[in-house]
Structure 1
Amino acid sequence: MANETKSTAERLGYAADARALILNADDFGMCHDQNEGVMRGLKEGVFTSSTILVTCPWFEEAADFARNNPAADLGIHLTLTAEWDSYKWGPVSARHSVPSLVDERGYLWQTVAQVYEHARLDEAEAELRAQIDKALAAGIDATHLDSHMGTLQLRADYHQIYARLADDYRLPLRLASRRRIGIEGMGAILDQLDAAGVVTPDHLVFNGPPTVSETESYWTNLIRTLKPGVTEILCHPAIARDELKSCARDAAQREADFRYFIADKTRQLIKHERVEMVGFRQLRDLMRRNPPTPVPLPRR
């Protein structure tokens, strides 16, 4: 396991005991109801970043927002899955060029387990690079990479792809706390990330409220108990109208999270707790200012 001397927050210039927060809105581009929640969340709420599903039908609305809001902190939500029962999407690549990534109807696999069972690693990497390249070609100034449903973060061979992409595109990554990663072989990958100069938050919160009724108490307690360092919280803010309700099983929770994080009460809580709000752009700037150690990440 890589040895850490300074937290990411300290490397950004904050004190050792400072608590900094990246609040990331996932699934930008999934559908219009999701997009509206993300766009309003970035403009009216306390969200500091978002990540875009390049594979989805409403990607162009997200890309248009990015072009018209160049200061927006927008990353790429790398995806190999299409998880909903009645709302599907396929790869950015031609289906015949990545046949192991799609089911018999040409859609991305529904579950992470199916990806691991069927996908070829070379085809997965080619598709993920195509997603990044499509976003960049659309005028999105990508600030970071993360992984839809955690597919790239739950197995070491997929994590190696994730690390290579971060290195090649010089983009920071979403990463679970180093002390909590229990995947065999991850120590070497973390060392390789450090050698490549890839910057990550210090902590990650990927679970949300257990019920809609507990939304306020859950998030409020989490903000009050943030640890020193940079913490990334992810959620999926959206407006739960008929469109979202027709496809997303957690539509009500998505809107509850949206309402919580655009409320003035939440902004005042963050101020009272002296939490510093940061975005991935600051991590990207840090990463690109510091050249990597000339030790290449492993290739296939």
Structure 2
Amino acid sequence: MDSRPRIRLLTRGDDLGAFEAGNRAIIDAYQYGILRNASLIAPAPNIHHAAHLVKQFPRLCLGLHITLTSEWDAPRWGPVSPAETVPSLVNRDGCFFRTTMELFRQGINIDEAVREVKAQLQLVRSLGLDICYLDEHMVPGWIFHPADTLRTPLSSAFKAIAREEGLIWYGDITTQAEALPASRDLPETLRHIQPGTYLLVTHPAYDDAETRQVVGSGHTQPGNLARIRAQDAQLLRAPEVMRIIDERHIQLVRYDEVSLL
């Protein structure tokens, strides 16, 4: 048995279900690249397209990307639950607020947030998807109810849901893994990292007519988001990255494999 210290790389692709171009890029990054985990946005408009694709690749580890915000001008999305049952989560248009700060200022009802997360989990499971872990879209876990003098963060409720549902809470993995930037410097970084567990979070999508029209949340120019996400898609399939991983015997791992190593 090889007893040498190992380098383990946990690779994650976020926003599965948001764009068809993202769904295709994530699948390609798994099939032909280094991606091993993908996080689903249940309320997003292309979730059924995502489910159709990922069911063909059961070894791709799936997580629910807990989503309580809707940052783009288009597409916009709202809760899986009926909007009238989660009024503290929605804007006047019936969609989620654009930012976590807006959600916080609204005065979030924790019970409504829990109800919505469970509804999102039920939806993706109803599509025949095996969910392994929970993580957060736009990281709403810091939010607490303004009346709560203890300032109990929403992430505590999320973690409790994970335990109740027998899922991995991504925050428990984050404490074990060092984050790597998804940048053009990744090959150089991989050449020099020492044994340990590392996390690479990406947002892959293809640059096409769909993604070029997306604006909002810091991307005010059409095409900006498409360009940035296409870079992530390329990074996950870059020959140089794949060659270094092979040469250094870097293990590409799923969320459900981290606790076993």
Say yes or no: TM over 0.5. Answer: yes
Match for residue 202 of structure 1 among 176, 181, 193: 176
Q: Quick one: distance in 2 between partners of 1:153 and 1:66?
A: 30
Gap runs ≥5 in structure 2: 145-151, 220-224
Can you list the C-alpha shifts for 1:148-188, whole angstroms capped at 9, x where unaligned? 0111257652110121011011111222xxxxxxxxxxxxx
- Aligned with 1:160 (options 127, 149, 156): 156
What is the rounded CA distance, in whole Å, between the counterparts of 1:112 and 1:15 in structure 2?
45
Does structure 2 conserve the Cα–Cα contact (< 8 Å) formed by 1:206 and 1:235? no
**Partners of 1:130 and 1:276 in 2: CA distance:** 34
**What is the aligned partner in structure 1 of residue 111 from structure 2?**
122
Larger helix share, 1 or 2: 1
Query: Partner residue of 1:222?
Result: 189
TM-score of the two chains, using structure 1 as the length reference = 0.75
Conserved 8 A contact 2:35-2:236: yes
Q: Extract unaligned runs of 5+ from structure 1.
A: 1-12, 176-197, 210-214, 288-300
1:41 lines up with 2:15 in the alignment: no
TM-score normalized by the length of structure 2: 0.85
Deviation at 1:199, TM superposition (A): 5.6
Q: Distance in 2 between matches of 1:77 and 1:132?
A: 9
Distance 1:228 1:154 in 2: 35
Asked if structure 2 preserves the Cα contact closer than 8 Å seen for 1:172 and 1:283, the reply is no
* Equivalent residue in structure 2 for 1:108, among 92, 96, 103: 96
1:140-155 matches, within 5 Å, as 140-152=129-141
Q: Is the 8 A contact 1:90 1:106 kept in 2?
A: yes
SS of 1:149 mapped into structure 2: coil
The residue matched to 2:138 in structure 1 has which SS?
helix
Structure (1 or 2) with the greater strand fraction: 2
Measure how far apart 1:14 and its partner are: 9.3
> Structure 1 residues 16, 147: CA separation in 2 closer, same or farther (over 3 Å shift)?
farther
CA shift, 1:206, in A, is: 7.1
SS in 2 for 1:144: strand
Contact 2:20–2:50, Cα closer than 8 Å, also in 1: no
Deviates more, 1:269-278 or 1:119-128: 269-278
Q: What's the RMSD between the two structures over aligned residues? A: 2.4
Q: Deviations over 1:106-149 (max 9, x none)?
A: 11110011122222111111101111111112111112111001
